[in-house]
Amino acid sequence: MQKRSYYSDRPRGVRNFVTGLVLACSLLLAWPLSAQQSGSGELLTGYYAREGNNGTPAKAAGNNIYIKFFEDRWVGMMFIPFPYATEVDAGVVDEVFKAARKQAPRAAILRGKYGLLAEAATIQIERYGYLQDRIVYECGALSPCTIKLGDDGLELIKPGVINEHIINYNHVAIP
């Protein structure tokens, strides 16, 4: 039995209409994504500090954790050893992120003092993308981590073996 193309049997006007409809739908769906990506200017101000830094979670993990977004869809996670991290000023954290980003032209894991810290910090820099209303990036877990942005912070969702780990971060604005 010979295969039949139903698409070519349709009149030319119908084919153009269907093609135009598909193109219009794809543009309408891509517009919110491009608006979300171009609106990342708010992400670039300051950084985010894990809830529980300087407390029990930091003691258990052995470090304070910070997240910063950079231009061109780069994200950095910094781990400063605890209890030294309690002595580090917010402006210094931001400067260390900037110094590390200058050293890493691509995805990297860096460790150093960057001329600003007394103890070495570990920084992971990765590319991020968007998946629906969330930010997705590689965080060294079983599968990529996702970030859900809120009004004054974010939720980092790390995949686990049995269930997800949700870690809240507060926004720290740097003037």
- The domain that contains 77 carries what CATH number? 2.40.128
Could you give the number of structural domains in the chain?
A: 2
With a cut of 60, say whether residue 71 has pLDDT above it. Answer: yes
Mean pLDDT on 87-109: 93
- Taking the chain, what is the end-to-end CA distance rounded to the nearest angstrom? 73
pLDDT of 12 reads: 60
pLDDT of 39 reads: 43
Among 135, 98, 142, residue whose Cα is nearest residue 116: 98
Cα pseudo-dihedral 123, 147, 151, 72, rounded to 10: 60
Q: Which domain holds residue 88?
A: 41-172
Give the pTM. 0.74
In a domain, 107, yes or no: yes
76 and 27 within one domain: no
19 and 45 within one domain: no
In a domain, 80, yes or no: yes
31 and 50 within one domain: no
pLDDT band of residue 173 (cuts 50, 70, 90) is: confident
89 and 52 within one domain: yes
In a domain, 1, yes or no: no
With a cut of 70, say whether residue 86 has pLDDT above it. Answer: yes
Residue with tokens 């590390």: 100
pLDDT band of residue 162 (cuts 50, 70, 90) is: confident
110 and 52 within one domain: yes
In a domain, 51, yes or no: yes
pLDDT of 21 reads: 47
Mean pLDDT on 139-154: 85
93 and 23 within one domain: no
97 and 62 within one domain: yes
Mean pLDDT on 103-114: 92
Tens of pLDDT along 37-63? 434 455 678 899 999 898 998 999 999
